[in-house]
Structure 1
Amino acid sequence: METKKTVNLITRGSYVVLDNGLVKLTISKPQGFLVAIKYGGLGNLLDLKSSESSRGYWDLNWSLPGGHDRYQLLQGSEYSVIRMSNDYLEVAFRSTYDPSIPGIRLPLSVDLRYIIRSGVSGFYCYAIYERPPGCRAFGLAQTRMVFKLRREKFHYMAISDEKQRIMPMPEDLVPDRSKQLIVPESVLLVNPINPDLKGEVDDKYQYSMDNKDGGVHGWISSSPIVGLWIIFPSQEFRSGGPTKQNLTVHTGPACLAMLHGTHYIGPDMLAHFEEGETWRKVFGPFFVYLNSTPDVSKANNLWIDAKRQRLFEESAWPYDFVSSPYYLAAKERGSASGRLFVQDRFVSNSLVPAQYAYVGLSAARIEGSWQTESKGYQFWVQTDSDGSFTINNVVPGSYGLHGWVPGFVGDYLNKELVIISPGSQTHLGNLIYAPARDGPTVWEIGFPDRTAIGFYVPDVNPMYVNKLFLNSPEKYRQYGLWDRYTDLHPESDQIFTIGISDPKKDWFFAHVDRRGTNKYLPSTWKINFNLNSVTGGIYKLRLAIASATRSDLEVYVNSIDNEHLVFQVMNLGTDNTVCRHGIHGLYRLFTIDISSSLVIKGDNSIFLTQARGGDALCEILYDYVRLEAPLVSARLEE
């Protein structure tokens, strides 16, 4: 049996070296930049052509109130050894904010930590962000850790079983090898180093993942065959809950640990801190796993092994070895359990178990606001087939209990706050979610799952293909799909007839402008439906929106004029979902009153107008549309 090697710490001038016999890290001091990772026969996995401060580093984007976005490379001014033994080493690189010093500086103290352990093929990274008393107001837009890998070695990336490929080279992004497209991050590869990639589009947003679907992503090098993987053992410290979309990898080769950001939501996701507001959060630890094989034919086994390692890290969470008192061990945390039911008498006379619903604890206090909650921790699970759930390892505090149920519109919020204390087991009992509902369904379009995935996603224009997403369930990841709407409807807009049209074929996944001769034109979608009879009262139109960007939405009934305008919202959304190849952003539910005086017995129409023209990338992604009859009609039936 091989004996684990002792962990060593070596100081070399302005560097420290952390070595456990498997992995050797070289870190600048006191800044905390990760300068080198030695593993598996590679003297350094990090990019030798990048400066030492831009190989393995933490950064963030922030702003003062009313000010412009500022980019900040994080670095320490004090280095210390937190704890060291034969089998464990944790080091810190800290910068402390002093409010008494004049000038514009990031109003945040930052403590960057690295951990290595004996016998462990990898290392742990985390950071403690803290606002001491007296800090000025500011907004935090994004923070992450970045690893730039050896560009001549790392060509193959993997972020899921389906999403793996040989990536372009960074040199392919220069003007003589690529063509800039309408979206700044997108380029068409016209003369790539690898000719197999010619004619493809490269865009980092094509490799975004929901927090709930991620957990491990990385790269595999050639000669030697080495894998570097970022593993999130928990999602609790990442902002925005399970549906928050984050970048993973991109041409560089870059591997990202995204912890907080505004992508697919916009400014609503900013963490705003008031003057003097104190705050502390531990981001991480996440695990950087390293593996290798001498057999090139078994390179894919590194991905399989990384997935296995992810399961191990998840099972070990919360870690029992982290030294910071601000990172809480299992015995310092609590749990909450219960069973969620749905009450909708137009679906069932009995309570319906909320199968495979998402249930979570968040500091957010308003229905659905967990999507933009960005200061605290969030703890989410899926219910089982009978609606039961247990949320373990919750940091003590006062939380809103949130949720949503596939198949039902809206957001659930428990009426009472959930208090978690150390070692507590909070039993919430049976909980009931009554989703928005006023009357029986007249008709519906789609399936409420908070995405536009059930609607028609067109084939990509062959000029802008990414081969990874051909014949893929994520065909919406392709570039330029907004223009495919005009290709399908060159002269007039989409018409959908209830009972005849098929949402999967006849409802375009994104309500965008239609391309005209010289500019993009507002578009109006028409929904035709027949009423056998009209009941006096108020009909309800539920519009569940999966995403919106710079949209002016107007809804008319039977005629497009002011008398028949029943709903209007201006400048809706900042998600940028379509141009970033997504299928959902910030979820919204609108309920629109339609007087029975506006409809007739027989043929009727509802018009959804994207009233903002001249914008190729404005969009609304509908999740689900439902018309409900006045409640009195249900009473008559009874």
Structure 2
Amino acid sequence: MAIADDRQRLMPTAEDRSTGQPLAYPEAVLITHPSNPELQGEVDDKYQYSCANKDNKVHGWINLDSKTNNSVGFWMITPSNEFRSGGPIRQGLTSHVGPVTLNILHTTHYAGKEVTMRLHEGEPFKKVYGPVFAYLNSVSGVHGSEQVLWSDAVLQLSEEVNRWPYDFPKSEDFVPANKRGRVEGRLLVQDRHIKGGKFVYGHNAYIGLALPGDVGSWERQSKGYQFWSRADKVGNFTIENIVPGDYNLYAWIPGIFGDYKYSTIITITPGCIIQLGSLIYNPPRNGPTVWEIGIPDRSAAEFHVPNPYPNLINRLYIGKPLHNFRQYGLWNRYNELYPNEDLTYNVDVNDYSRDWFYAQVPRKIGNNTFQPTAWEIKFHLPFVMRGSYTLRLALASATRSKLVIRFNNPLDRPPHFSTGSIGQDNAVARHGIHGLYWPYSVEVRSNVLVEGVNTIYLRQPKVTSPFQAIMYDYIRLERPEA
């Protein structure tokens, strides 16, 4: 099976799974009696092979005849993501044991009910899904044929992308290239506390058109088309092959907190070229940064992802740090790292890449018994300024959980802030490093802070399952302006 340059492996069979040991999450199985002895003791789970929309372009299978060295490849190629829901970083299944090859057009995986497509009685709905391209290739008697066939499939993907939109569909609902539009522009960022308020480029920004909605609503949309591109190093972007209609332009920039939305509806007409010029994003900001934890990139990947259990591994990901989070059972490592007390993070001493666990999970105290966890952030203020501080908090994932925040008193009632019950993305159980994005801006009155050491308590009280968890993306404390 091959999903990417660094995600290719000889897979277990369906029979290997059926004779294996089921694990805590139903889709995960420990292979105990494999037909191939090399797979003994490995974990197989279809979610270990999930992929973001932006990368889910080609995947499939290679069948190698060991006697003749003849090989055949079967590939699923998706030349456009315009019909998929949830934007470029929404995750979905690809290929897995069976052998199974999927093309997921709409999914609630890594999102839950937030993206469920709801159609009311009498509501008209029309959308073209695809076409997608099934590609077969073969090679005879070639050593290393797996890589030859994979490389050929990647080349074929490039050809299909260049052919998009296809010219063969006869449906009047499939819009050909000459009746689509294009949008061009440049995204700049202005934050008075970044480079003195000078404009900086929207470097590598994700910029897209989706149905009109609130800021950030594109991530939870499922009915309309979406058209995304990446800005270059100076913020220039081009979005091509846009189906006519009314859209909002949305954007987010790795390294910058929050979401951008262009204030004016963009109407695409056949053959149009819309030049927006320079767009300015003023990200949320009330004052200078006191401290920050993490990177605002909608992922928990920069935090501490523990080593896998030696008896619960998928060897595909051994020695690949960018994929460590895909190993099974990592959530159980929290109890081992923090056996007696929950995580405490000192912003002046600790390093989030080592000292901030990738997910705030419940503490296991019995076979099926769990208790809430309360993490602490400690920071020193030499003095407290009058006015309001601001806590910028972005969650990368939430699963049937709730985050309750208190300052300097873990028993304060009511708490200073609560998200309420949020999320159904199951990112922890499904070996993801993020689900949906949840940004919050919390006003912090100066009278709850003290000169000297302060403590923020982050409590997750919902604990009927080991997977009721929160992943953090980024936390920043801002002080009032001087």
1:246 deviates by 0.7
Matched, 1:615 2:457: no
CA distance in 2, matches of 1:247, 1:282: 20
CA distance in 1, matches of 2:105, 2:33: 35
Matched, 1:442 2:442: no
2:421 alignment partner, SS class: strand
Aligned-residue CA RMSD (Å) = 1.1
> AA paired with 1:509?
Y
Structure 1 residues 380-459: aligned runs within 5 Å: 380-459=228-307
1:337 deviates by 0.7
Could you tell me which residue of structure 2 aligns to residue 220 of structure 1? 62
Q: Is the 8 A contact 1:160 1:217 kept in 2?
A: yes
Structure 1 residues 594-605: aligned runs within 5 Å: 594-605=444-455
CA distance in 2, matches of 1:308, 1:375: 31
CA distance in 2, matches of 1:319, 1:564: 58
1:509 alignment partner, SS class: coil
Structure 1 residues 477-492: aligned runs within 5 Å: 477-492=326-341
Structure 1 residues 61-100: aligned runs within 5 Å: none
CA distance in 1, matches of 2:144, 2:310: 33
Query: Which whole-Å deviations, capped at 9, do the CAs of 1:516-570 have from their partners, x for residues lacking one?
Result: 2452111111111001111011111111111100112111111112257211123
Matched, 1:268 2:96: no
> AA paired with 2:251?
G
> AA paired with 2:14?
P
Q: Return the index of the structure with the highest Cα Rg.
A: 1
> AA paired with 1:310?
L
1:272 alignment partner, SS class: coil
- Displacement over 4 Å in runs of 4+: none
Query: Which whole-Å deviations, capped at 9, do the CAs of 1:236-282 have from their partners, x for residues lacking one?
Result: 11111101101001100000011111000001111111111111111
CA distance in 2, matches of 1:397, 1:221: 44
Structure 1 residues 139-218: aligned runs within 5 Å: 157-174=1-18, 177-218=19-60
Could you tell me which residue of structure 2 aligns to residue 343 of structure 1? 190
Q: Is the 8 A contact 2:248 2:261 kept in 1?
A: yes
Matched, 1:352 2:200: yes
CA distance in 2, matches of 1:205, 1:319: 31
CA distance in 2, matches of 1:572, 1:322: 42
CA distance in 2, matches of 1:364, 1:528: 41
> AA paired with 2:162?
S
Percentage of pairs with the same residue: 47
Q: Is the 8 A contact 2:212 2:265 kept in 1?
A: no
Could you tell me which residue of structure 1 aligns to residue 411 of structure 2? 561
Could you tell me which residue of structure 2 aligns to residue 59 of structure 1? none
Q: Mark the runs of 5 or more structure 1 residues left unpaired by the alignment.
A: 1-156, 634-638
CA distance in 1, matches of 2:420, 2:201: 38
> AA paired with 1:482?
W
1:439 deviates by 0.8
Structure 1 residues 266-415: aligned runs within 5 Å: 266-299=112-145, 300-348=147-195, 349-415=197-263
Matched, 1:551 2:401: yes
Q: Is the 8 A contact 1:509 1:622 kept in 2?
A: yes
CA distance in 2, matches of 1:196, 1:531: 56
Matched, 1:514 2:363: yes
Query: Which whole-Å deviations, capped at 9, do the CAs of 1:125-180 have from their partners, x for residues lacking one?
Result: xxxxxxxxxxxxxxxxxxxxxxxxxxxxxxxx000011000110011122xx2111
Query: Which whole-Å deviations, capped at 9, do the CAs of 1:577-606 have from their partners, x for residues lacking one?
Result: 000000011001011111111111111111
Q: Is the 8 A contact 1:522 1:611 kept in 2?
A: yes
CA distance in 1, matches of 2:267, 2:72: 45
Structure 1 length-normalised TM: 0.73
2:416 alignment partner, SS class: strand
Query: Which whole-Å deviations, capped at 9, do the CAs of 1:466-501 have from their partners, x for residues lacking one?
Result: 111112111100111111111111111111111210
CA distance in 1, matches of 2:142, 2:460: 53
Structure 2 length-normalised TM: 0.97
Query: Which whole-Å deviations, capped at 9, do the CAs of 1:319-375 have from their partners, x for residues lacking one?
Result: 122222211111010111111111111112211110000000001411111111111
Correspondent of 2:80 among 234, 243, 252: 234
Could you tell me which residue of structure 1 aligns to residue 99 of structure 2? 253
Whichever structure has more strand as a proportion of its residues is 1
> AA paired with 1:412?
Y
